[in-house]
């Protein structure tokens, strides 16, 4: 069995224009000081990382790895959540997602998609140069506006949407394969891949591509009332990334899963800092150890109530406490009798 690596932290929710969150060396110092051993880098944030340069320059990548190693840190994964989202955007969300793209392609969906695909290619090459074998991303969505079956969907609409999604992603997955990197798609409301069934629909259409995998985040499953522990039993072979994020779902007589268009604070389902929600992390970390998950446990901090710096400070010891240093032998090996085939036959009365 393997021991999970960690604690790690996703930097996206902390990057900003004020020190120490406005450069990679400064934010790395800050996170290392809190006890983190790994950082997941949002590749779209130029204050922290130059994705195009990393795809082309081994020197740039080596310098970053060396700088982080001096602080006791590693890169867990690069993230292209924003760029991956733009690989497939339903027109209803064009205006909302335009801000995720480079300024020169905004207002032009075709150019924006081409830019997103190029970014994904950069991410595959940059990951390889950094010595990474996993990558975190979103898949985008074409069918999401039709998630609820009213009005009745035209026959074949969902199937056609997943066919198109797979058509766009298959060449990207091939580039990741050429670079020896798995994509962990975060299964997330708003994405066409948001639970096990939809992941299977996609996986079938990309011919069970070996690089099409899962970023496991139990918080999104709590909000969908999905069994997030059994999910690991079913899909553990495809889980390559792990966001440690808490959530709670407290329905009332006034609102439930859909949230009544309320703010995060007032929704029945909301994200919480680690330990403040309902996720059973002891069960999750046990399952991860059971199935030899070899990757990182990475805090993605999101909370409707708590200050982010408090959440970050609490997150490292929380994850460290839950990581199970796996055993190298069975607890009852002291009583083992060795192999004796004749004894086995006698015990069976043969």
For residue 332, the model assigns a pLDDT of: 60
Q: Rounded to whole angstroms, how far apart are CA atoms 182 and 184?
A: 6
Q: Rounded to whole angstroms, how far apart are CA atoms 230 and 290?
A: 13
pLDDT digits (tens, 9 = 90+) for 63-77: 999 999 999 999 999
- Phi, psi (deg, nearest 5) at residue 293: -60, 125
Pairing relationship of beta strands 269-272 and 74-80 according to DSSP bridges: unpaired
DSSP 154: P
User: If we measure between CA atoms, which residue out of 173, 185, 325 comes closest to residue 243?
Assistant: 185
Q: What is the pTM for the complete model shown?
A: 0.95
Furthest-apart CA pair in the chain: how many Å?
80
Q: Rounded to whole angstroms, how far apart are CA atoms 191 and 89?
A: 10
DSSP 155-202: TTHHHHHHHHHHHHHHHHHHHHHHTT-EEEEE--TTSS--SHHHHHHH
User: If we measure between CA atoms, which residue out of 29, 72, 65, 35 comes closest to residue 49?
Assistant: 65
For residue 283, the model assigns a pLDDT of: 98
Number of independent structural domains in the chain: 1
Q: What is the mean pLDDT of each run of 10 residues along the chain (350 residues)?
A: 94 97 98 98 98 98 98 98 98 97 98 98 98 98 97 98 98 98 98 98 98 98 98 98 98 96 97 98 98 97 97 98 86 66 90
CATH code of the domain covering residue 147: 3.20.20.150
Q: Which domain holds residue 269?
A: 5-347
Instruction: Give all strands (DSSP E) within the chain, no chain letters.
Output: 5-10, 38-42, 74-80, 134-137, 182-186, 212-216, 239-244, 246-249, 269-272, 296-299
For residue 329, the model assigns a pLDDT of: 66
Q: Rounded to whole angstroms, how far apart are CA atoms 83 and 334?
A: 54
For residue 335, the model assigns a pLDDT of: 58
Q: Rounded to whole angstroms, how far apart are CA atoms 300 and 311?
A: 10
pLDDT digits (tens, 9 = 90+) for 284-340: 999 999 999 999 999 999 999 999 999 999 999 999 999 999 987 666 665 566 778
């Amino acid at each position: 069995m393997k021991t999970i690596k960690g604690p790690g932290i996703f930097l996206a929710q902390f990057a900003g224009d004020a020190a120490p969150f406005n450069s990679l060396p400064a934010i790395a110092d800050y996170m290392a000081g809190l006890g983190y051993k790994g950082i997941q880098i949002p590749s779209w944030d130029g204050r922290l990382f130059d994705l195009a340069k990393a795809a082309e320059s081994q020197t740039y990548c080596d310098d970053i790895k060396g700088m982080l190693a001096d602080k006791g840190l590693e890169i867990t994964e690069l993230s292209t959540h924003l760029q991956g989202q733009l690989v497939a955007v339903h027109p209803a969300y064009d205006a909302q997602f335009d801000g995720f793209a480079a300024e020169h392609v905004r207002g032009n969906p075709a150019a924006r998609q081409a830019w997103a695909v190029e970014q994904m290619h950069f991410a595959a090459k940059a990951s390889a140069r950094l010595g990474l074998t996993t990558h975190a991303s979103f898949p985008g969505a074409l069918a999401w506006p039709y998630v609820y079956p009213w009005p009745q969907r035209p026959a074949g609409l969902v199937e056609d949407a997943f066919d198109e999604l797979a058509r766009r992603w298959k060449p990207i997955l091939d580039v990741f394969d050429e670079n020896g990197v798995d994509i962990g798609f975060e299964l997330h409301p708003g994405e066409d891949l948001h639970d096990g069934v939809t992941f299977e629909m996609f996986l079938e259409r990309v011919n069970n591509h070996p690089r099409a995998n899962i970023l496991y985040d139990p918080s999104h499953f709590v909000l969908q009332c999905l069994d997030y522990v059994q999910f690991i039993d079913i899909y553990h072979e495809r889980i390559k990334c792990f966001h440690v994020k808490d959530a709670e779902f407290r329905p009332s007589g006034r609102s439930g899963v859909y949230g009544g268009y309320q703010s995060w604070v007032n929704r029945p389902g909301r994200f919480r800092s680690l330990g403040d929600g309902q996720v059973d992390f002891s069960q999750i970390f046990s399952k991860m150890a059971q199935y030899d998950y070899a990757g990182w446990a990475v805090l993605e901090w999101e909370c409707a109530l708590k200050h982010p710096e408090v959440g970050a400070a609490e997150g490292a010891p929380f994850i460290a406490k839950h990581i199970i240093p796996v055993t190298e032998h069975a607890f009852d090996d002291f009583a083992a009798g060795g192999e004796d085939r004749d004894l086995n036959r006698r015990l069976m009365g043969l």
